[in-house]
Copies of this chain bind each other. A is one copy, B any other.
Amino acid sequence: MPKITPRSLSTNSHLPFGDMQNSPFYGLDIITVKQFDREQLTYIFEVAHEMYEMVLRVGSFDLLKGKILANLFYQPSTRTSSSYTSAMERLGGSVIPINNVSYSSVTKGESLPDTIRTLEAYADVIVLRHPEVGSSALAAKYAKKPIINAGDGIGEHPTQALLDLFTIQEELGRVDGLTITMMGDLKYGRTVHSLARLLSLYNVRLYYVSPENLCIPAEIQDEIAAKGIPQEYLTDLMSVLPETDVLYVTRVQQEYFEDPDQHEALKGSYMITTETMTRAKNEMILMHPMPRVWEIDMAVDDDPRAAYFRQMEYGQYIRMALLAMVLGKA
């Protein structure tokens, strides 16, 4: 007869180490922006702001000491992977970095559920980037430990949208009442879709500026419209720039244009320069999910309204908050 009932192994429970069970996010998977209501966002941002203040004051602290994050990237992403690593390390936790899964068991034919159930034998939380839509939801279905979606193909990258919204909140002090202009590739960019969905929980006005072939999908527009959010579609920035509070620029990939000249021509009207900035509000912030290529001229970087590097630092605080919350420590 067994000395130990298998049920007591840590993989069989979310609560192995006496964690705070009453934390509202305890053990939760972070899969999609659709799972959040406005109250939850406010709570996440409060915790993220506390993280920011703690980092500013003491750099790091041992809130997650002894906890292990498996950073499972089926696709490379230095930025996102580094951000989660630093978030975990600033909280005193450890990381299992898995950056080249192509070299792993996967090449021996292992399924995602098996890989996830293997890793949760070692880790307390799993961050997953995977090229297939729905992979994080699939992983969460099988995992007993929390899964955080770090991008599932053209699906979602919910923590990017959270950090974008947190950036707006921190930089401008509010979200309600703002005019947000999104510009660039609004068709394939999952970033802007997720952000638009989150913004629709607030009282905002949205402008979409894109080439005709890259405009925001009707499906998203309908979803936003159903929340009563005013939206407008344009191909040129200039008419809406003066009233814009947040200008959110994304990359326009050459591959979406059959004619390379068409892509080249865009730079005339779609590149943000110091000249563009002279027409913007003094209080406006300029955002970009990065990496940028030509969309924002480097000369703009010194403008205090250029918020895209700060945006990445806010991302660290959002990820610190989420890790602490799903592990029952915030």
Contact = CB atoms under 8 A, between A and B. Distances in A.
A252 to B, nearest CB: 12
Contacts of A98: 78, 82
A66 interface: yes
A124 B59 contact: yes
Number of copies: 3
Contacts of A226: none
A292 B114 contact: yes
B121 A313 contact: yes
A117 to B, nearest CB: 5
Interface in A1-38: 1-4, 6, 8-11, 16-17
A58 to B, nearest CB: 6
A173 to B, nearest CB: 4
Interface range, A side: 35 or more
Contacts of A68: 60, 86, 89-90
B16 A56 contact: yes
Contacts of A203: none
Given A86-B96, A94-B89, A105-B79, A6 B59 contact: no
Interface string A53-65: 0011111110001
Given A94-B89, A118-B309, A316-B121, A56 B8 contact: yes
8 closest Cβ pairs, A-B complex: A60-B66, A76-B103, A78-B104, A86-B122, A110-B291, A89-B94, A121-B313, A17-B59
